Amino acid sequence: MKTNKPFFDTNVLLYLLSEDARKANRAEAIVVNGGIISVQVLNEFASVASRKLKMSYAEIHDVLRTIRAVCQVKSITVETHELGLNIAERFGFSFYDSLIISSALQSGCTVLYSEDMQHGQKIDGQLVISNPFLD
């Protein structure tokens, strides 16, 4: 079952907090319309926000609450894990990027917004990776 909703990689959501106004504004413009993320994205966001951005857990809770209000959150399953392994093997992505791709495919998404993966690459004839920050 395909959906018009995009899947967001963690880096796109982190740009909501960026001091780079162009990227922060672009991230906000695409996230405000909603989309899909996985629990992995929530976990990665919390880790980076705490470790690199030095945010308090209260601040992290607030931001993630807002993100969860506009994005559907999909669980990671054994099937997600298995498909992720297959994607890593077939396409050469890192395992964690492969899990993101796996979740996007299982969610029926046709677009995965990510700055870290190959812009324009099509996965399994369904999912196109798109870097929303390219000019």
Q: Give the 3-state secondary structure of residue 36.
A: strand
User: Does residue 72 carry a pLDDT above 90?
Assistant: yes
Task: Output Rg (C-alpha) for the chain, integer angstroms.
Answer: 14
pLDDT, tens only, 4-44: 999 999 999 999 999 999 999 999 999 999 999 999 999 99
Please report whether residue 1 resides in a domain.
Answer: no
Distance CA(29)–CA(106), nearest Å, equals 25
Q: Does a structural domain hold residue 43?
A: yes
CATH of the domain at 77: 3.40.50.1010
Full domain range(s) for residue 61: 7-130
Angle at 41 between CA 60 and CA 97, to 5 degrees: 145
In a domain, 36, yes or no: yes
Looking at the structure of the chain, the number of domains it has is 1
How many other C-beta atoms lie within 10 A of the C-beta of residue 110? Answer: 17
- How confident is the model at residue 3, as a pLDDT? 85
**Would you say residue 135 lies in a domain?**
no
pTM of the complete model: 0.94
Whether 2 is in a domain gets the answer no
